[in-house]
């Protein structure tokens, strides 16, 4: 799944994703940045409708991660790493 600005690619493993996570599979994502960036975390601000956002972080920056979110639904992910940003949407089914 390509981010809206094309700066990051989310390679989805184990889809469909679920909240809570399914006992037999993880909500795995491989984050691949288009351009190299200085080292630092990938910050994820996940929001769904008018609910308060949920913050997640991938410590080493774009790379392998597990992204568990607290509830099913369509989540918008605002992503930031180094001085770069992008946005994408992921659907989580009821677990």
Give bridge partners of residue 65 from the DSSP assignment.
29
Find tokens 């390679």 and name the residue.
Answer: 11
Asked if the structure places residue 45 within a domain, the reply is: yes
Q: CATH number of the domain that 85 lies in? A: 2.60.40
pLDDT in tens, 43-75: 999 999 999 999 999 999 999 999 999 999 999
Asked if the structure places residue 29 within a domain, the reply is: yes
Asked if the structure places residue 74 within a domain, the reply is: yes
Asked if the structure places residue 1 within a domain, the reply is: no
Asked if the structure places residue 82 within a domain, the reply is: yes
| Total number of domains in the chain | 1
Alpha-carbon span 53 to 66, nearest angstrom: 18
Asked if the structure places residue 3 within a domain, the reply is: no
pLDDT in tens, 10-54: 999 988 999 999 988 899 999 999 998 888 999 999 999 999 999
Confidence (pLDDT) at 11 = 97
pTM for the predicted model, two decimal places: 0.93
Asked if the structure places residue 42 within a domain, the reply is: yes
């Amino acid at each position: 799944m390509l981010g809206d600005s094309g700066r990051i690619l989310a390679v989805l493993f184990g889809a469909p994703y679920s909240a809570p996570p399914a006992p037999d599979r993880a909500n795995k994502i491989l984050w691949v940045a288009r351009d190299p960036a200085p080292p630092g975390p990938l910050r994820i601000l996940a929001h769904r409708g008018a609910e308060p956002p949920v913050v997640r972080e991938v410590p080493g920056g774009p790379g392998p991660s597990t992204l568990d979110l607290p509830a099913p639904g369509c989540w918008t992910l605002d992503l930031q790493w180094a001085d770069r940003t992008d946005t994408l949407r992921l659907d989580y089914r009821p677990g």
